[in-house]
Amino acid sequence: MTVTQRHPALIICMALLAGGCAGPTTVETELRHTAHARLDAFNSEMLYRQAICEYEAGAYDRVAKKLERLLAVQPDSVPCHLLIARVSLARGDLDQAEVELLRVLTLDTQHAEGWFLLGDLYRRWGRTEDALHAYQSAHDFRPGYMPCLLAVAEGLSVSGRHRDAIELLESQLAYFEHAPILYHRLGQVYRLMGDVAAAVEAFQAASRVRPGDISLLVTLARTEFEAGYHEECLKTLTRLSLLPGWKSDVNLLYMQARCHGALRRDQDAFRTYVELACLDPDAIACWVEFGALAWKLDDVDRLAMCGSRLRALVSDRWEGHLMHALALQRKGKQEEAAEAFSVAVQLAPDQPLPLIMWGQFCQSTGASDDAEVLYRHVLAMEPSHPAAQTCLDLLYRTVRQEFVELPVP
């Protein structure tokens, strides 16, 4: 038998071809699947980032389309459901937002942002207790997140649990001692409780952390004024005036004038009212307070000016006519003054001040009986009115003295 020789290279090639026909090995298949999975994950991540960018740009329709494609591949993607909820909230579709947020919390019960957004949603619906529960859950799962803490405190306060809100905020001061917003929220809760002194302390602490915050200093000044801390209020207003970019505010000027008045710094108050009269010439309160101060300082010309301005602005209010009457009285125009007093009383028959001032005018002109009628009218309305009682007592003493001095017939 003849033996045919085979070339070694040919044998090797045939072996390789035979091995290739058997298909990829298990390892190759797993590597291939892993590569495809990585590519799909990369594409999904890029698509999600594009959706985020378009959400921030307000292109909600394009966001919705991209998320629809993503959820077709990853139906249980928490970030995608959360972004759909955000889009729904931005569009005002609160029902759909609730569905998506509940889906997020079903997939991840400890998702702090999901709980936080659900709290915002329930707050918009007026579901106070549900909102508070959601905020508390968010705070439990993310205790160091300031918005969650503030939301819980606000929810407690809205529910009337001011003391609980204060305890929560104060328990966190050691961890957020350099966070002015925490002190600010604490001050707000104290104000709601009616504890203005404690509110002032909280706002002062916040202003020490952020001394250049205009909004914070305005709140501090208003709270100090409300608490009766007039000297401190003036100091805060001075700090405000020194800040760059600060523009004078009419309402704060009113506070400044009233603080000066409360501290009996009448000349400082007078100058402030002059400035206010120029800045806000149609403000009734300004002219009323300015006129009262002019009367106290015996500035007849300013008193007449305030009365004239008030009568021009609101002729049916008594203050302008009373100032006009007092100015005429000081100028010796008794008949015109009597007529002006009469108009003021007719416009405000239940106001004690014009009645008492007219009574004093009558008493000064010798019409004691008319003065007594006016004083008694005030006491009939307010039996413990001190000024009316004092004027009536003085009138009696004067009449009794005159009676004693009459010659014996």
Task: Quickly list DSSP for 161-187.
Answer: -HHHHHHHHHHTTTTSTT-HHHHHHHH
Per-residue pLDDT averaged across 257-284, rounded?
94
Q: Where in the chain is the domain with CATH 1.25.40.10?
A: 173-240, 247-348
- Integer-rounded Cα Rg, in Å, for the chain is 40
247-348: CATH homologous superfamily?
Tetratricopeptide repeat domain (1.25.40.10)
Q: Which CATH superfamily is 173-240 part of?
A: Tetratricopeptide repeat domain (1.25.40.10)
Ranked by mean pLDDT, which of 5-9, 72-76, 245-249, 362-366 comes out on top? 362-366
Reply yes or no on whether the pLDDT at 320 is more than 70.
Answer: yes
- The phi-psi region of residue 5 (left if phi > 0; otherwise alpha if psi is between -120 and 50; otherwise beta) is beta
Tokens 């072996």 correspond to 15
Q: What is the mean pLDDT of residues 299-310?
A: 95
Average pLDDT rounded to a whole number, residues 320-339: 95
CA dihedral defined by 243, 289, 297, 237, rounded to 10 degrees?
A: -10
Query: Predicted confidence band at 264 (pLDDT cuts at 50, 70, 90)?
Result: very high
Distances in Å between the Cα of 60 and the Cα atoms of 69, 72, 117 are: 14, 18, 18
- Which of these, 263, 320, 251, 323, lies nearest to 294 by C-alpha position? 323
The pTM assigned to this predicted structure is: 0.74
pLDDT for 291 beyond 70: yes
DSSP letter at 408 equals P
DSSP string of 321-359, one letter each residue: HHHHHHHHHHTT-HHHHHHHHHHHHHH-TT-HHHHHHHH
DSSP secondary structure code for residue 2 in this structure: P
pLDDT of residue 403: 39
Mean pLDDT computed over every residue of the chain: 85
**Any idea which of 13-17, 180-184, 188-192, 405-409 has the lowest mean pLDDT?**
405-409
The number of beta carbons lying within 10 Å of the beta carbon of residue 228 is 13
